Amino acid sequence: MEGSSIISVIIIIIIAIIVLVSFSLILHPGAKKPAAVSNSTLTNTTVITTSVPAVVTFYDVNLQWVYSGPSEINNTQCGYTTYSYIDGSSATLNGSQLFYLMYQPSSGYCPMSITGITINTPGFALLSTTPSLPMNLPSNSQEQLQLNLKAPPSNFYGPLTITIHYN
């Protein structure tokens, strides 16, 4: 019984050495390889790769409003350009992850129509809006607008800047 347990330990040690040498060759492919035992050629190669997803972090959403309608000479409440922020809007996402932003535009004293949205931050893409554009708002009204977006595939850290076109 004692002789068979010593043989078992020796076999385990030999297997462990073979596994360690194999991992060493995989992790260090430039290392000198031991001479081949047979004359066979390598016909199949397996490449093991790991990928770490990109990290996308935006810490603020800047909304730039661009008016493109007719000018209102006697009404300072209509036809202006504003720059606003969605307070507290930030997220950390994986690269190419889909996400959405909810915004509640209000028309103020004049009716308005949101005619287009441009994503100014490189890599981000606008996939769609809910409701679809143009979005018409009567005077003194407020509606929900959902922007369905896709994060860039590469690492990003900074503000997300969006231009909203209206008239």
Q: What would the mean pLDDT of 55-73 be, rounded to a whole number? A: 76
Q: Which helix (H) or strand (E) holds 115?
A: strand 112-119
Residue 15 lies in a domain: no
Q: Which helix (H) or strand (E) holds 17?
A: helix 2-27
Residue 160 lies in a domain: yes
Residue 28 lies in a domain: no
Q: Which of 127, 116, 166, 120 is nearest to 150 (CA)?
A: 127
Residue 113 lies in a domain: yes
Provide the pLDDT confidence category of residue 39 given band limits of 50, 70 and 90. very low
pLDDT at 94 over 90: no
| Cα gap 1→107, rounded to integer Å | 90
Digit-coded pLDDT (tens) for 101-137? 888 787 777 788 889 999 999 999 999 999 999 999 8
Phi, psi of 58 (to 5 degrees): -115, 135
Residue 10 lies in a domain: no
| Cα gap 92→59, rounded to integer Å | 9
Residue 136 lies in a domain: yes
Residue 127: domain span: 55-166
Q: What is residue 42's predicted lDDT score, i.e. its pLDDT?
A: 43
C-beta of residue 122 within 8 angstroms of C-beta of residue 152:
yes
Residue 110 lies in a domain: yes
| Cα gap 156→8, rounded to integer Å | 54
Question: How many domains, the chain?
Answer: 1
pTM as predicted: 0.61
Between 17 and 102, name the one with better pLDDT.
102
Residue 7 lies in a domain: no
Which residues contact residue 72 at a Cβ distance below 8 angstroms, ignoring those fewer than 6 apart?
Answer: 78, 79, 110
